[in-house]
Structure formats: C-alpha cells, structure tokens
C-alpha cells in the first residue's frame, strides 16, 4: 500500500506543477497580448500616446476681419481652414493666407494669431494641446500686411 501512496503523491505533485506551469504560461501570454494591443483598423504595431496635456478642439467661424489675439499653446496648435479664407501669423514671420482645406501648425510655446481675411470669413477647425497663454491684441497694421501664399 505505501507504494501506491507514493505513486499518487508523485502523480498529484506532477499535475499540480503542470497546472501552475500552464497558469503561468497563459497569464504571461495574456499580459503580452494586453500590452501589445492590436488595433483592428491599423496595419502593423502602433502605440497610442497618452499624456497629461489633453487635446482641445475649437470649431470657430470668423466673420471678415475677425481674429484672435496673439497667443501660444503649451503643446502647439494645428489650424485647418474648412471654408473661406483665413489668415495667420507666427510672431516674427509673414502673414499667411489659408484657403479651404489648407492647414498650418504653430509649435509649442510659439506666439501666433489666426482668423479670417479682411474681406472674407473663414471657418476653422483647430486642435491644440495644453494650456493657452493669451497675449496682446494684433495691431491693425500687422493684420493688414499683405499675406504670403
């Protein structure tokens, strides 16, 4: 009878170790899968970037002559003109004219303004990250500087 107990003991130990090993393999594979989450709408591996500077979105229509004050964004801003004719300028740079479908980018911390042309309105879709720092009004002579295309 003691021989059978030894065999049962060995068999129990074997199945216990097998169970623990399978558990570790399966949980390890699950962890790897969770860390490398595949996106079904992409080809290849991607990594979503999460940070504390949540994006802000603004969808604004500027009447002819309307514009923002000089300002900057902690994480930068993308400006897309959806309709009409817009204007923008980065501090120290030329005034730019943007038509429907055109975009520009103001880098993080760079002072800029944007709005409509003097004689045409503009609808803009803007995406920015981080805090906005508002500065002075744009001088009329700066706004009316002939734009570059």
Q: Does residue 80 sit in the same domain as residue 34? A: no
> Which residue do the tokens 């604004």 mark?
60
Each residue of 77-130: pLDDT tens digit?
Answer: 999 999 999 999 999 999 999 999 999 999 999 999 999 999 999 999 999 999
Task: Look at residue 49 in the predicted model and tell me its pLDDT.
Answer: 73
Residues 36 and 60 in one domain: no
Question: In this model, does residue 138 exceed pLDDT 80?
Answer: yes
Give per-residue pLDDT as tens, 31-83.
665 555 556 777 777 777 766 667 899 999 999 999 999 999 999 999 999 99
Cβ neighbour number for residue 61 with a 10 Å cutoff: 13
- The pLDDT of residue 18 is 63
Distance separating alpha carbons of residues 114 and 98, to the nearest angstrom: 10
| Residues 132 and 70 reside in one and the same domain | yes
pLDDT for the residue 55: 84
Structural domain boundaries, residue 19: 1-45
- Give the model's pLDDT for residue 5: 60
126 and 86 share one domain: yes
Cβ(101)–Cβ(81) below 8 Å: yes
Residue 94 token pair? 């030329």
Same domain? For 18 and 64 the reply is: no
What is the pLDDT at residue 149?
74
80 and 132 together in one domain: yes
Same domain, 38 and 64: no
Q: What is the pLDDT of residue 43?
A: 77
With CA atoms as reference, report the closest residue to 101 among 81, 121, 84. 81
Same domain, 17 and 35: yes
Judge if 32 and 73 occupy the same domain. no
Question: Looking at the domain assignment, is residue 90 inside a domain?
Answer: yes
Residues 60, 40: one domain?
A: no
- Give me the CATH number covering residue 106: 2.60.120.10
79 domain residue, yes or no: yes
Any domain includes 84? yes
Residues 6+ apart with CB under 8 A from 23: none
pLDDT of residue 15: 65
Q: Domain tally for the chain?
A: 2
């Amino acid at each position: 009878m003691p021989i059978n107990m030894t065999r049962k003991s060995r068999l129990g130990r074997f199945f216990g170790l097998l169970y623990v090993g399978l558990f570790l393999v399966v949980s390890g594979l699950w962890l790897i899968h969770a860390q490398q989450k595949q996106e079904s709408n992409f080809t290849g591996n991607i990594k979503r970037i999460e940070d504390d500077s949540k994006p802000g979105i603004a969808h604004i229509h500027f009447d002819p002559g309307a514009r923002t004050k000089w300002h900057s964004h902690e994480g930068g801003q993308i400006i897309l003109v959806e309709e009409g004719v817009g204007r923008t300028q980065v501090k120290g740079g030329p005034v730019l004219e943007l038509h429907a479908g055109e975009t520009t980018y103001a880098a993080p911390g760079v002072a800029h303004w944007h709005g409509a042309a003097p004689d045409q309105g503009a609808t803009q879709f803007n995406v920015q990250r981080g805090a906005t720092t508002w500065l002075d009004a744009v001088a009329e002579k700066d706004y009316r500087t002939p734009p570059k295309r």
